[in-house]
Amino acid sequence: MLTKRIISCLDIKDGRTVKGINFVDLRDAGDPVELGKRYADEGADELVFLDITATHENRKTLIELVNRISLNLNIPFTVGGGISSVADVSALLNAGADKISINSAAVRHPELVSEIAARFGSQCVVVAVDAKKTNGIWKVYLNGGRIETELHLEDWVKQLEKLGAGEILFTSMNHDGTKNGFACEELSRISEMISIPLIASGGAGKPEHFLEAFSIGKADAALAASVFHFKEIEIKNLKKYLAQNQIPVRL
């Protein structure tokens, strides 16, 4: 049976992990490779490396890092941050990334999603969608939530599927950082609307929240960063908890 996936997200700045506090037992908690391996050993099903600086000058550092991650990691990983062209995607995939994640560039140039899918296959195209609900309406935001667009979340997600996106990574800005749970109601609506996998993001605080994302939100995968990074939730324990609650997971 296909399992629900737990995805750990690592923020990368200048080729280094933005540090967690509780990884004193790692030789170098700033090394994305070492931290990534650690998550893989703990049972993470996939990793996302998000380059939060994503400047042009840092591109070479990122490519070298992706190469090192791929050489050392035996589970799939996605790389995101600052991707705006087919050439960017090509460089990351050639360095060994399994998937890439695009966000703002997809809104600015929707045809980019189709171009990447046609060239490398839909399976490697994760489109990240940041959205916020205001007065009952979900709108898509850009640049880490700083710029509001005119796009309605559900229309955009449907369009992305048509354009050839392989997966949708939906972050609710209303929930992100709150640790009060994922946007389960909206997740469920989106999940039933599309026939490609949906990754829930934003709001994880307790194991129960992951259970809700799968059972109520009907998400195919759930992503979190800080709760794993600061060891508030151990992935091994989280997966045991989900299995006890009839969610199929890889143990």
Residues of the shown chain interacting with other proteins in the complex, contacts defined by CB under 8 A: 1-5, 40, 45, 70-72, 74-76, 93-96, 98, 120-124, 166-167, 195-197, 220-221, 250
- In whole angstroms, the minimum distance from the beta carbon of 75 to other proteins comes to 6
Residue 107 or 157 with smaller CB distance to other proteins:
157
Could you tell me whether strands 221-224 and 46-51 are parallel, antiparallel, or unpaired per DSSP bridges?
A: unpaired
- In whole angstroms, the minimum distance from the beta carbon of 21 to other proteins comes to 27
- In whole angstroms, the minimum distance from the beta carbon of 250 to other proteins comes to 4
Residue 167 or 176 with smaller CB distance to other proteins:
167
Find the catalytic residue in 11, 51, 98, 176.
Answer: 11
Residue 1 or 24 with smaller CB distance to other proteins:
1
- In whole angstroms, the minimum distance from the beta carbon of 46 to other proteins comes to 8
Q: Which of 155, 158, 127, 125 is nearest to 139 (CA)?
A: 155
Residue 3 or 61 with smaller CB distance to other proteins:
3
* Annotated catalytic residue 11: yes
Find the catalytic residue in 45, 51, 88, 130.
Answer: 130
Residues serving a catalytic function are: 11, 130
